[in-house]
């Protein structure tokens, strides 16, 4: 098992945060420990893949509505107005107008859904429908590092790289499994809100769904995701990561954001 201090040195070296003395110490340790050297090489490959994918991704701006909500400083309450009600005929009454507009809307919606053949039978979202929304690849390098988690076993491998800013938490996930596994990212909806799930590299056997307080990935094979959460406040909060196979827990860990 790799020493925790050496693991921290590896993470810091990948972030180019080591002093020359610490780099020399790390090289000497890796030269004498093949397992640690393999661990270090795997992390270098993961970092190289993320950098390559970041260069190839097409930037898509956040939706204006969400930007307005995030950047809103205050809510201005509208002043109450004095209304003067007049007695109208039956055909001019608001109730009849609203009912008429509602019926037209229902009829129009029915026609649109009939043409588009929309299926609302389930709440699970196909992963391909979530691709390319609300993602800005330029933001990740400017964020603070919360933690980098690595899980490696014969049943599954997973990497969770978590960074955050005052407004957004970005989680990069790399999953690999021969057989189906379920991975969940859980958080408190009072502190975070899911803005976007980006499938960087996802096969047809893998699906993803999002709810108010978690994102669930049903994984088979090698897949990569990026999850963005709206950071509602500056207090410290946990984000939990869990991996299951056949409803049996394989792994559980958490990271803390807003550390400073």
Mean pLDDT per 10-residue interval, the chain, length 260 residues: 70 75 79 79 78 63 61 55 56 64 75 56 44 49 89 94 93 95 96 93 94 95 95 94 94 91
Contact call for residues 32 and 25 (beta carbons, < 8 A): no
Architecture of domain 121-260: Sandwich (2.60)
Query: What does the pLDDT read at residue 102?
Result: 75
Q: How far is CA 184 from the centre of its chain?
A: 11
Query: What does the pLDDT read at residue 87?
Result: 54
**Cross-strand bridge partners of residue 164:** 144, 169
Question: Domain coordinates of the chain in residue numbers?
Answer: 1-56, 121-260
Q: What angle do CA 181, 183, 184 make, to 5 degrees?
A: 150
Per the listing, tokens 């003395």 go with 21
Q: What is the DSSP string of 33-58?
A: -HHHHHHHHHHHHHHHHHHHHHHHSP
E strand or H helix at 256: strand 248-257
Query: What does the pLDDT read at residue 127?
Result: 46
User: Quick check: pTM over 0.85?
Assistant: no
Query: What does the pLDDT read at residue 129?
Result: 45
Tokens of 164: 């955050």
Question: CA-CA distance, 70 to 231, in Å (whole number)?
Answer: 9
Question: CA-CA distance, 139 to 71, in Å (whole number)?
Answer: 16
DSSP H helices, the chain, are 4-14, 20-32, 34-56, 64-71, 94-116
Question: CA-CA distance, 258 to 260, in Å (whole number)?
Answer: 6
Maximum CA extent, the chain = 92
């Amino acid at each position: 098992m790799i020493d925790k201090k050496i693991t921290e040195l590896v993470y810091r070296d990948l972030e180019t945060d080591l002093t020359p003395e610490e780099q020399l110490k790390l090289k000497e340790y890796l030269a004498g420990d093949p397992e640690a050297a393999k661990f270090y090489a795997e992390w270098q490959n993961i970092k190289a893949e993320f950098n390559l994918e970041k260069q190839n991704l097409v930037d898509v701006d956040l939706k204006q509505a969400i930007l307005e909500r995030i950047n809103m400083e205050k809510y201005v309450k509208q002043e109450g107005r004095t209304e003067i009600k007049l007695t109208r005929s039956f055909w001019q009454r608001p109730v009849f107008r609203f009912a008429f507009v509602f019926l037209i809307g229902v009829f129009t919606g029915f026609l649109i859904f009939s043409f588009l053949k929309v299926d609302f039978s389930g709440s699970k979202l196909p992963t391909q429908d979530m691709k390319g929304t609300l993602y800005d690849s330029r933001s990740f390098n400017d964020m603070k590092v919360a933690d980098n988690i690595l899980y490696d076993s014969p049943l599954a491998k997973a990497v969770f790289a978590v960074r955050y800013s005052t407004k957004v938490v970005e989680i990069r996930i790399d999953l690999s499994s021969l057989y189906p596994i379920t991975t969940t990212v859980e958080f408190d909806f009072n502190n975070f809100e899911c803005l976007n799930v980006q499938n960087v590299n996802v096969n047809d056997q893998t699906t993803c769904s999002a709810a108010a307080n978690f994102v669930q990935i049903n994984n088979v094979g090698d897949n990569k995701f990026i999850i963005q959460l709206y950071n509602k406040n500056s207090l410290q909060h946990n984000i939990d990561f869990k991996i299951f196979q056949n409803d049996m827990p394989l792994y559980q860990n958490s990271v803390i954001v807003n550390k400073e």
